[in-house]
Amino acid sequence: MSRRMFLTCLIVVQAAISLRMCNAEETTSDSLPTLAPPICLGGPLTQCKWLDEPSGITICSEGSWPADPAFDVPPTTQHLILYNIKFPNRENSFRFSHLINLTVLQIEYSESCDLTTGATVPFLFQNLVASLDRSTMRTLFFTHIHFETIDDDFFAGFSGLESVEFDNCRIKEFTRRSFSPLAMGAPVSSLPGARNTSSFKQLRVVHAAELTEFAWEVLYPVAESLEGSPS
Ligand SMILES: *[C@@H]1O[C@H](CO)[C@@H](O)[C@H](O)[C@H]1NC(C)=O
Ligand SMILES: *[C@@H]1O[C@H](CO)[C@@H](O)[C@H](O)[C@H]1NC(C)=O
């Protein structure tokens, strides 16, 4: 089977899994009483698999992120997909500093778990990427991740980011300086207080019913580089 076919199959399989998950949620949400806090950590990670070159894609899916500090994502990874994973809220649990060629990070249907209460908490993205060289990252995709607030530190270190997509991420707010870390290039002029240049081109926020207000001013730091939407 060709690489392209394999990837297509994979996407179809993922779509089927998503559909099943949505259906399960719908049927159980109002029939179950809430008793003890949910235990959010699951079983061991099912797989972390590097697809062959030239795609450079690694897919890690289903289960809890391993506590074993020796656990590594393949260093050749250029595009990392984290699918349906429970991440502990412990700091320094993730070793990504060896992913020197990573440019695309895609996180889907994943959760952060508070290890003391066993409850799911809004996703701790900065905690997850703390060890990563974020300055070489170009693209972020988030699907079905619970964020609530995209705060001033969310994009910290992502100075070369070109695009981000939030799909079904329950975002309520982007804070005032949330896009500032994306504008760390040389100043546009030598005048004091001149804004920095940025590489950021594309922001997509879809299925965001909870985002009732969006202050366009938050995009001021990236206003020059941002490209208009084709649709
Ligand atoms: C990173 O990319 C460079 C250039 O394509 C390549 O020579 C190098 O082997 C890659 N390193 C890893 C760890 O994949
Ligand atoms: C411009 O970028 C530098 C780092 O390159 C940063 O220290 C500074 O705060 C930025 N200025 C603005 C206005 O964002």
Greater model confidence, 175 or 4: 175
- Counting from 1 in the atom list of ligand 1, the atom nearest the Cα of 98 is 13
Q: Is the pLDDT of residue 218 over 80?
A: yes
Q: What is the pTM of this model?
A: 0.81
User: What are the contacts of 33-42 at 24+ separation with CB within 8 A?
Assistant: 36/118, 37/117, 37/118, 37/119, 38/118, 38/119, 38/120, 39/118, 40/86, 40/111, 40/113, 40/114, 40/118, 40/119, 40/120, 41/86, 41/88, 41/113, 41/115, 41/118, 42/86
For ligand 2, atom 7, name the residue with the nearest CA: 184
State residue 45's pLDDT score: 72
Question: 100-142: per-residue pLDDT in tens?
Answer: 999 999 999 999 998 888 888 999 999 999 999 999 999 999 9
Greater model confidence, 52 or 172: 172
Ligand nearest to the Cα of 198, by number: 2
